[in-house]
Amino acid sequence: MARVYVSSVIEAPAARVWERIRDFNALPRWVPAVRDSRIENGEPSDRVGCVRDFHLQNGDRLREKLLGLSDYDFFCTYSILEGPMPLTNYVATLRLTPVTDGDRTFAEWSAEFDCAPEDEADLVGNIGANVFQAGFNSLKRLMAG
């Protein structure tokens, strides 16, 4: 099983960062690679079990299912149902932890998935840098502005 883990510190209170990312349909508002998103069947975007259907800037389409969401613990967990990457059993968690020193946020994004051994390094690197870290970098800019 492949694992990806990226962490960062965002110079904003965790509650403020959470307001930006808790909406499961809000990826286009803070992940640069995402062009558009919609929640299937008109369900609320914070209902566990809802499915987001979105496109990347390059036109690739993904469908992801919300598996868990906690406003108290500032986390969401989701799985990929369909996508262009050669992987299966993908489950990811995005978690925010308040840093009381300076009223900042410790952000963690991790994922586990199965893939062919020859694809693992590329997938881990791509997801870690171009999705997780790119999302954190975007959040840093958005929270600073």
pLDDT in tens, 6-45: 999 999 999 999 999 999 999 999 998 899 999 999 999 9
Map out the domains of the chain as residue ranges.
2-144
Paired tokens of 43: 């369900």
The torsion angles phi and psi of 10, rounded to 5 degrees, stand at -110, 130
pLDDT below 70 — which residues of the chain? none
Residue 24 is predicted with a pLDDT of 96
Q: Could you confirm whether domain 2-144 is CATH 3.30.530.20? A: yes
User: Strand, helix or coil at 137?
Assistant: helix
The H or E element that residue 46 is part of is none
* CB distance 92 to 77 below 8 Å: yes
Residue 145 is predicted with a pLDDT of 72
Residue 44 is predicted with a pLDDT of 96
Residue 32 is predicted with a pLDDT of 87
